[in-house]
Amino acid sequence: MEINDEHLKELEDEAIFVMREVAAQFERKVILFSGGKDSIVLVHLAKKAFWPAKMPFSLLHIDTGHNFEETLIFRDELIRELRVELIVGLVQDSIDEGKVVEETGINASRNKAQSVTLLDIIDRMGIDVAVGGGRRDEEKARAKERFFSHRNEFGQWDPKNQRPELWNIFNGHKNFGEHFRVFPISNWTELDVWQYILRENIKLPGLYYTHRRKIFLRNGVYLAWAPFMQLKPSEKVFEADVRCRTIGDITCTGVTLSKAQSLEEIITEIAATRVTERGGRYDDKRSEAAMEDRKKEGYF
């Protein structure tokens, strides 16, 4: 497959510039690592930005406990290779400490609770910047996001009062207790990410490629089945060839029916698709402003 990579080079140059600005402007730096393709691309960019030095970031994984097993294996292998610190924030801890009340019912998800755990860790460890793989094309509230996004001492985002961001000058000034979220791949689209993964030959968890899995259909979204998930009487579990377009908490990550075995096939599939990748994200279906509300509370 031939990819015109002029635009990929420009996006990469921009992202590396942002990574280096983060290194220069902050003290305690983490990359939010979910095991998903966007965070894997971030890690690759960080590697490239500081080579041959070790990247000046720890990886922070907010673990809902509802993982795809493959993601954790992949994560641990990557850590061994990079020789960087891994910080794991367990949502279960936040629940046990009474900081968040677990949702109940059929649609129960720990997705929202992740924000509490994340902010808790940021506060406890004195983290002043968390680099994330958020992209503006993902969702309409994210389209308004800055590269350097300020969070107040409560970890909240104030979308109506964001700092203007001009040229390539990033203002990381903040008061004690505040932090920044930084999004180096803001300007990338889903297709750019996949083309870049192919161009750089980046290794991904097998979940992104076609595999046989038990799934069920809920509100038009195929969800991966796991033993702890409650089913409605009308919902039937069946096996199919699927792959993940995004990877998050297993309870809210939709899968797509696909037989794509290679990056080339995935790219062809995505170029032809008519649904956005978050169209399969159950967490966004909750309301029109679901993402905006979660982001204000401190979500990724």
For other proteins, which residue of 70, 93, 165, 297 counts as binding (CB under 8 A)?
165
272 is a site residue for other proteins (CB under 8 A): no
Bridging pattern class, strands 255-257 and 238-244: antiparallel
Cβ closest to other proteins, residue 9 vs residue 259: 9
CA 156, 141, 254, 3 torsion-angle sign = negative
* Calpha distance 258→158 (Å, rounded): 39
Is 6 a residue that touches other proteins (CB under 8 A)? yes
How many residues of this chain interact with other proteins, rule: CB under 8 A?
Answer: 58
Q: How far apart are CA 32 and CA 42, in angstroms?
A: 9
Residue 181 interacting with other proteins (CB under 8 A):
no
The answer to whether 69 contacts other proteins (rule: CB under 8 A) is no
**The pairing of beta strand 211-218 with beta strand 238-244:** antiparallel
Asked if residue 21 binds other proteins (CB under 8 A), the reply is yes
By CB under 8 A, residue 128 contacts other proteins: no
What does the alpha-carbon distance between residue 263 and residue 37 come to, in Å, rounded to a whole number? 12
By CB under 8 A, residue 201 contacts other proteins:
no
Binding segment toward other proteins, per CB under 8 A, in 35-43, 154-162, 228-236, 242-250: 154-162
Taking CB under 8 A as the binding criterion, the range among 48-56, 89-97, 104-112, 119-127 that sits at the site for other proteins is 48-56
The residue within the footprint of other proteins, chosen from 201, 229, 274, 299 (CB under 8 A), is 274
DSSP letter (8 states) at residue 111: T
- Measured in Å, how far apart are the chain's first and last C-alpha atoms? 33
158 binds other proteins (CB under 8 A): no
Q: Segment near other proteins (CB under 8 A), from 100-108, 116-124, 155-163, 229-237?
A: 155-163
The position carrying tokens 């990574």 is 19
Nearer to other proteins, 91 or 270 (CB): 270
Name the packing angle between helices 263-272 and 190-200 (round to 10°). Answer: 160
Helix (H) or strand (E) holding 43: helix 37-50
> Which stretch in 26-34, 57-65, 117-125, 138-146 sits in contact with other proteins by CB under 8 A?
138-146
The residue among 7, 26, 19 whose CA lies nearest residue 51 is: 19
Interatomic CA distance for residues 90 and 92, integer angstroms: 5
Q: Of 63 and 192, which has the nearer Cβ to other proteins?
A: 192
Q: Pick the stretch among 26-34, 169-177, 211-219, 228-236 that binds other proteins (CB under 8 A).
A: 169-177
Secondary structure of residue 216 in the 3-state scheme: strand
CA pair distance 230, 237, nearest whole angstrom: 11
Tell whether residue 106 is a contact of other proteins (CB under 8 A).
Answer: no
Q: How many CB atoms lie within 10 A of CB 76?
A: 11
Q: Which of 167, 212, 219, 234 binds other proteins (CB under 8 A)?
A: 167
Alpha carbon distance 210, 259 (integer Å): 5
Footprint on this chain of other proteins (rule: CB under 8 A) = 4, 6-7, 10-14, 16-17, 20-21, 23-24, 47-54, 136-137, 139-144, 150, 159-160, 162-169, 171, 173-175, 186-187, 189, 191-192, 273-276, 279, 288-289, 292
